[in-house]
Structure 1
Amino acid sequence: MACKSSNFDMEWTNIQKAIEKLQNILLGQPGVTFTTEEYMINYTSVYNICQKTSGDNIIEQLYHDYRNIYERYIDSVVLPLLAKEYHGEFFLRELVKTWRDHKVMVRWLSHFFIYLDRVFTSRVSLPSIHEVGVICFREMVCKEMNARAVDVVLYLIEKEREKGKIDRALLKNVVDVFVEVGMKELEYYQHNFEAAIVEDTGKYYSRKASSWIMEDSCPDYMVKAEECLKSERERVSHYLHSSSEQKLVARVQRELLLVYESQLLEKEDSGFQALIHEDKVEDLSRMFRLYIETPEGLEPIADMLKQIITGEGTMLVEQEVVSADIIKKIIGLHDRYMDLVTAPFKNHALFQRALQQAFEVFCNKDIAGSSIAELLSMFCDDMLKKGGDGEKLNYESIEENLEKVVKLLAYVSDRDLFAEFFKKKLSRRLLFAKSANQEYEHFILTKLKQQYGAQYTSKMEGMITDITLAKESQKEFKKYLQDQPNSDTLGIDLSVTVLTTTSWPGFKSLDINFPGEMLNCIEVFKGFYNTKTHNKKLSWVHSHGTCNIHGKFEAKTIELIVSTSQAAMLLLFNYADKLSYSEIQTQLNIDDEDLVRSLQTLSCLKYKILKKTPKAIAVSPNDVFEFNSKFTDRMRRIRIPLPCQEVEERKKVAEDIDKDRRYAIDAAIVRIMKNRKVLSYQKLVIECIKLLSPMFKPEIKVIKKRVEDLIIRDYLERDEDDRNLFKYIA
């Protein structure tokens, strides 16, 4: 000892006796223990050294001598003991025992030397008395025995993975050694123990995965992977530190799930596509459970789901001809994959987006020249009109189908096109009393309004309101007729539906010189309407009118349901036996197109109410017509429709949509520029598309054309220095 103080020597002699006794206790000698008096003697010895010696040199020497106590003990007792030929668990038990003994030594010596902490270590920022004891064990024992201990632990863990029995409590104690010598910091445990376990775990499961991926089906592989992950979590809970779970599980997930993900998903007879087609909900749920913890692993699954749905949907729309079943099949496809997204995939955002993107691909393709928007409107029409599919279903089924249409419409970019077609068909249902139930009409309009806003359905709701008001007006008209002096002079049961021009689709104007009895009806109703208002003007739409005429044939009287123009033509034959094409045209003042269409339905098709000379399947200007008194039919009431003008109607809708879109693009550009004042062309296009996308996706070339038009109309101007920059003109 370097100290020459006699006081120090005397006190240190007492401490050495205590150290020898402590070592005997640790070596297990019977009957050896410390009394309270001995504890006080040793504490007092340390106190006296610190108080009665002069200068910090003596105290510092005491601090170093304290450390030497541990170093000598470890060198002479601990290391020789651990150097013996212990194998496996026996070595680990000795390591745990020496640590426990060392902790006892540290606890007693810390009690003896605690005063040294108060007067020295805290003041000079040195490790505390307790920390010195732990540091000595860590640097002299753990560092020396680390590799050997880790090798044994790894061997035992692999033995357990292979269904062998091990002493889990022993492993827990070994882990505690590596954690405790870190003194509340996990860095030592993580660097010297955890890292090796994680690395070895990765190698173990890499070997297993390379074998399983070749031998097992996708479901069997996932069952094994799930069991392995469960066992690793249990392993952590039993003997590893809780902080190791995330790293260990992540490594297992990487080796079992991520490395072989593509091979697993693409297995020919049992991969993801097979599970989808065979509706293996349990296996798909397991796949989701496994990969939800590895978000980067979900993306390939969602991408594959998108590819599968896109492929099925594209094949469906490309092979299918336009029919009533096409929308049912698309709805069925959507229901099926929506159930998958909802159940096994728990409505995860990635799978919702995959479903959406897939349906957006094929729901914006044309089917035999018809858009999905048009076909959806046709499907709705069939649900909502009398005699359609809706009459075969109950109320709940109809509502469910209509709600599914609204969901499908979300994938269609041309939602304004659907609105236009739907409005056209709604007008026919309402005007011709073909609507099966007003509640159904209100239901789908409510759903559309919730999804796309009040403006989307405002005109359609106005149409229904007009029909409701028209019924009330008709009651008033009947009362008006009854109150007239000659209430029976009309001679015809007249029903007039008054509509608001702005709510209804544009109707073709049909000006006809009506026969007297029909003209009289029009004048009477005008007189009634003028009593109600003087600010509104009636504009008659004869192209959408219908008439019920009693045709008196030789066999029997048959009620004919015909259009207004057909009725006008038939009434001419009350005053003439024969009429030529030109005579009919002159008397009615009707154009060739409408005249040919009406005459063809009355003389050339199924119901030949008129006889045409010469006989032919087409009407020509040289034809002569006469009433066919010998006509008969098994029915007492027949409807004679005009030829379908589907092509013309579709063309008219396209023209109306094109016009509306130009107005919408103009309004969007002006709104954006009014708010931003100055904007580049690229940003203007982006904002315009974003603003209009809820209704339709405008083409960039159309936007460019509308910008140029707005410049000409002095709404915008180009910047003089930057031609790509536009300014709003207030």
Structure 2
Amino acid sequence: MEEKTLKDMKEEEIRKMEKKTLKDMKEKEEKEEEMRKLELMLSNIEIKGLSNETLDGIKCMTLYTDIYIVATDSNQVFNAKMYSKYKEFHNDYLNDIVLPHLRLHHGEFLLKEFETSWAHYSKVIHNRLHLYFRYLGRYYVAREKLLNLNDVGNRCFIDLLYEEMRSRVMDAVICLINKERDGAKIDRELVKKVVNVFEELKLYEDIFEERIVAGTKDYYSKKASLWISENSCPEFMLKVEECLEKEENMVRDCMKPATEQKIVSEVEHKLLVLHSTQLFDKEYSGLKKLLEDGKVVDLARMYRLYSRVHDGLQHVCLAFKNHVTAQGMALVRQTEIEVNKHVVKNDVGALQNQQVHLIMEFIKLHEVYLSYVNDYFQSNSMFFKVLKEAFEVFCNKSIAGVSPAELLSIFCDQTLKKKSCDNDKSTEDTIDDVVKLLVYISDKDMFAEFHRKKLARRLLFNKSDSDEHERYLLTKLKQKCGRHFTSKMEGMVTDLTLCQDTTASFTDYLRDNPDMNPGFDLTVTVLTIGFWPSYKTCTFNLPPEMLRCVEAFKQFYQTRTKRTRITWLFSLGTCTIVGKFEPKTMDLIVTTLQASVLLLFNSANRLSYSDIKDQLDLPEEDVTRLLHSLSCAKYKILKKEPDTKTISKTDYFEFNSMFTDRLKRIKVPFPLVDDRKKVIETVVSDRRHAIEAAIVRIMKFRKVLGHHQLMSECAEVLSSTFRPDFKIIKLQIESLISRDYLERDSKDHSVYRYLA
């Protein structure tokens, strides 16, 4: 029983093995049959007819099915053959159909055929094959990480067709573009289509753009050499501007945006950079000549062109600065010549008018060239800087010993006075011009002191054209120079405003206290010492009439405050007195001191020089000036013996009862003492204090600082007000060391230490 079972098991196993063998043989035969079919299908796949857009639909489906069967098969050999066949199809089409046709064309016709061939190749052949073979790309190409089918088609086009035709195609494109540059009308759309071909082939940046830029460089190298020799500077710039505009439009229409900058840069370099020196230095039409002739349109074009180039405006800026400086220095030299003529003639009035006229010329010059910067140089900061540097050169030149700061203050004084000289501009506009000019003057503190002196006289003697104009100027000065610059001047204006209230209160006081009333009108202006310029104070014997006025106001003022001490400045006072002359009675407007002299003749008909001096108790210098103004000047109210033009101690004076004038009211002039030297001395003294203060502030912050660095920082701190002399800075440092504010380092004497 057991033997039979074992035998049956062996037989059954043998049968299974035979059955498996038969199955394997059958599968092998089926596989071989399938491979024969795949081989047959692969051999039957042909390119013929694919270029025909009306290809039979049944044939297309058969082709698609055959490729699908082969592509989806796992046999790598057939897939590799299929991949190779895909490439062969492209090569055959290009070799047999496209290349022979392109070789027959040149120039613009070549470009048209080149673009048409690519369009047909990519649309009909390349894209259709890609559609049929897409399962090959989906399975085999993706799995083996091979070049994708789309790139295979492009590579075939590049390797076979483009490599042979590239030079001819690019030459044709450059030739076509150069025709447009020469003025011909071309088919820009064709250029754009050719550009699209290069973009699709991913050859735009490396091949097309590089050759176009090189062609641009060659074209404009030749043109630049020709134009610069044949054309004037304005004509050359006009051509350059037209070229740049054309290039920008052409690139914008036909090429990629990134190419525009590269092409435009080459045009700028060839036309502007390489020939800039030759262009600027043209003898009859260069930059200097354009500035001299005021060719603003050409200058604006030059600015637009060279602002495109790196550092292109440096030369224009320098030429502009030199031109403005030359114009200003010419005005200075001309004014010096005219001033010297008036100095010889001793014509003081004409001398001052000529000097002030220079300020007006500076303002006109500034208006002209500021408009250049704003309107033609597009408010470029570089041109503002060189304009400032140019004006700083000639705006700080003294004329006949008079500093520009003083001249500017005189000009302000004339502008703000009543009945000032006629001017086409409004007062506000003139003030704006003055403040603009002040920026260029280094001695701003000198201007401030002179202006404060003249402002005081305008305010005290009611000579200002308008309080609003005075405040407008102070506002502008504060904006430009800071609060400290105008603090004293603003205090002066405020004092005059407060004086109106004081005058009204004094009038009320006299009405309430009739016994204190001196019998005639009295107006007293109370000034704050810290705000106003320092004036010479003099004590003298006042006439009884004036003495009553002084006592009345003192009594009034003591009712308002007992802590404030009043110092009387009789030299600034004015009086209106009645002169009873035989021809007619007249009103005489005189100073307080002149009135004191005239009132002496109410009690005496004839007085000697010594009598007048003793009764007034004034210094000889003041007595001499007073008597000269009343007996030897324009109005001879007193008669002098002997009748000479000078005053001596032996002279006698009497009232001129026969004096008359066509006017009923006259102002008797009293020449002021020239205090220019005093003003300058005050400024110099103030500068020493300012330098010391600046040194102490810097050292207090720094603690330890080297000599040169301290000098530099001190000069920089003070530069907004004046330009300090380094010798003075050094002297003030030594002064501070001697007073134990600073000390020298024990190891290095060029280093200072701050002593707290």
Same fold by TM-score greater than 0.5: yes
Distance 1:30 1:383, change over 3 A: same
Distance 2:587 2:451 in 1: 31
**Contact between 1:318 and 1:367, CA under 8 Å: does it hold in 2?**
no
Match of 1:459 among 480, 485, 488: 488
Counterpart of 1:367 in structure 2 is 399
Residues 545-554 or 497-506, more deviating: 545-554
* 3-state SS of 1:626 partner: strand
Q: Distance in 1 between matches of 2:404 and 2:655?
A: 45
CA contact (8 A) 2:49 2:55 kept: no
State yes or no: 1:193 paired with 2:208: yes
Pair 1:698-2:724 in alignment: yes
Partner Cα distance (2:230, 2:480) in 1: 50
What is the Cα deviation at residue 230 of structure 1? 1.8
Displacement of 1:476 in angstroms is 1.3
Amino acid paired to 2:420: G
Aligned residue for 1:579, secondary structure, equals: strand
CA deviation map 1:321-343 (0-9, x unaligned): 43442222221111122222222
In 1: Cα distance, 2:699 partner to 2:611 partner? 60
- The 2-side partners of 1:16 and 1:619 are apart by 139
Task: Find the counterpart in structure 1 of residue 602 from structure 2.
Answer: 574
Counterpart in the other structure of 2:509? 480
CA positional deviation for 1:571: 2.3
Partner of 1:665: 691
Residue of 374, 385, 409 corresponding to 1:342: 374
- 2:333 paired with 1:318: yes
Letter of the structure 2 residue corresponding to residue 313 of structure 1: G
Match of 1:610 in 2: 638
2:211 alignment partner AA: A
Measured against aligned partners, the alpha-carbon deviations of 1:493-520 in whole angstroms (never above 9, x if no partner) come to: 2211000111111112222222332223
Partner-residue secondary structure (3-state), 2:386: helix
Aligned to 1:103: 122
Q: Which residue of 1 aligns with 2:221?
A: 206
Describe the SS at the equivalent of 1:296.
Answer: coil
- Structure 1 pair 47/437, CA: closer, same or farther in 2 (3 Å)? same
Structure 2 SS opposite 1:35? helix
| Cα distance in 2 for residues equivalent to 1:535 and 1:6 | 133
Q: 1:332 to 1:77 in 2, by over 3 A?
A: same
1:185 is matched with none
Structure 2 counterparts to residues 107-506 of structure 1, below 5 A? 107-115=127-135, 127-182=147-202, 188-320=203-335, 321=339, 322-389=354-421, 392=422, 397-488=426-517, 490-506=518-534
Amino acid across the alignment from 1:691: V
Deviation at 1:467, TM superposition (A): 0.7
Match of 2:343 in 1: none
Cα 1:40/1:361, change in 2 over 3 Å? farther
**Match for residue 347 of structure 2?**
none
2: CA distance, partners of 1:209 / 1:73:
47
- SS at the partner of 2:50? helix
Equivalent position amino acid for 2:704 in 1: V
- 1:30/1:388 CA distance change after superposition, 3 Å: closer
Q: Distance in 2 between matches of 1:491 and 1:672?
A: 60
Q: Determine the C-alpha separation between the residues in 1 that align with 2:324 and 2:445.
A: 25
SS of the residue 1:548 aligns to:
strand
Which piece of structure 1 moves more, 329-338 or 7-16? 7-16
Report the Cα distance in structure 1 between the residues aligned to 2:603 and 2:542, rounded to whole angstroms.
14
SS at match of 1:377: helix
Q: 1:675–1:69: structure 2 CA closer, same or farther, 3 Å change rule?
A: farther
- Cα distance in 1 between the residues matched to 2:191 and 2:713: 63
Q: Which residue number in structure 2 is paired with residue 689 of structure 1?
A: 715
Q: Larger deviation: 423-432 or 660-669?
A: 660-669
Partner amino acid, structure 1, of 2:381: A
- CA distance, structure 1, for counterparts of residue 742 and residue 75 of structure 2: 96
Deviation, 1:121, is: 5.7
Question: Contact 1:313 / 1:359 at 8 angstroms: preserved in 2?
Answer: yes
CA contact (8 A) 1:373 1:415 kept: yes
Structure 1 stretches of 4+ moved >6 Å: 4-9, 57-62
Does 84-93 or 329-338 show the bigger shift?
84-93
How far the C-alpha of 1:67 sits from its partner, in A, is: 4.7
Which residue identity is paired with 1:718?
Answer: R
Residues 70 and 133 in structure 1, CA contact (< 8 A), matched pair in contact too: yes
CA contact 1:43–1:111 (8 Å) conserved in 2: no
Report the more deviating stretch, 396-405 or 112-121. Answer: 112-121
CA 1:712–1:86 in 2, change beyond 3 Å: closer, same or farther? same
- Partner secondary structure for residue 559 of structure 1: strand
Say whether the 8 Å CA contact 1:25–1:32 is kept in structure 2. no
Deviation at 1:658, TM superposition (A): 1.2
- Identical amino acids, percent of aligned pairs: 45
Return the alpha-carbon distance in structure 1 between the equivalents of residues 128 and 515 of structure 2: 127
In structure 1, distance between residues paired with 2:35 and 2:744 = 96
Task: Please report the RMSD computed on the Cα atoms of aligned residues, expressed in angstroms.
Answer: 2.9
Classify 1:40/1:667 alpha carbon distance in 2 versus 1 (closer, same or farther; 3 Å).
farther
SS at match of 2:361: helix
Per the alignment, in what secondary structure is the counterpart of residue 475 of structure 1?
Answer: helix
User: Which residue in 1 is equivalent to 2:108?
Assistant: 89
Report the equivalent of 1:656: 682
Match status 1:565 vs 2:593: yes
Shift of 1:533: 0.1
- Report the CA distance between 1:69 and its aligned residue: 5.2
Query: Which string of whole-angstrom CA distances, capped at 9 and with x for unpartnered residues, describes residues 404-460 of structure 1?
Result: 111111121222222111111110011001111111111111111222222221211
Amino acid at match of 1:591: P
2:661 corresponds to 1:629: no
Q: Residues 466-497 of structure 1, C-alpha deviation per residue, up to 9 Å, x if partnerless?
A: 11111211121122122224254x13422110
Does the 8 Å contact 1:219/1:270 carry over to 2? yes
Summarize deviations over 1:250-307 as a string: whole Å, max 9, x none: 2222223333334434444444455445544443333333333225323322322222
2:625 corresponds to 1:597: yes
Partner SS for 1:387: coil
CA distance in 2, matches of 1:213, 1:659: 60
- Tell me the TM-score normalized by structure 1: 0.89
Distance 1:44 1:722 in 2: 96
AA aligned to 2:184 is G
In 1: Cα distance, 2:402 partner to 2:246 partner? 57
Structure of higher CA gyration radius: 2
Distance 2:703 2:599 in 1: 65
TM-score (norm 2): 0.86
**d(CA) in 2 for partners of 1:43, 1:207:** 60
The 3 A distance-change label for structure 1 pair 700 and 173 is same
Are the structure 2 counterparts of residues 226 and 642 from structure 1 closer, same or farther at C-alpha, using a change threshold of 3 Å?
same
In the alignment, the residues of structure 2 paired with residue 627 and residue 103 of structure 1 have an alpha-carbon distance, to the nearest angstrom, of: 122
Compared with structure 1, are the counterparts of its residues 62 and 372 closer, same or farther at alpha carbon in structure 2 (3 Å cutoff)? Answer: farther
Distance (whole Å) between structure 2 residues aligned to residue 124 and residue 372 of structure 1: 88
AA of the residue aligned to 2:607: L
SS at match of 2:311: helix
Pair 427,96 (structure 1): closer, same or farther in 2 beyond 3 Å: same
Counterpart of 1:256 in structure 2: which amino acid?
Answer: L
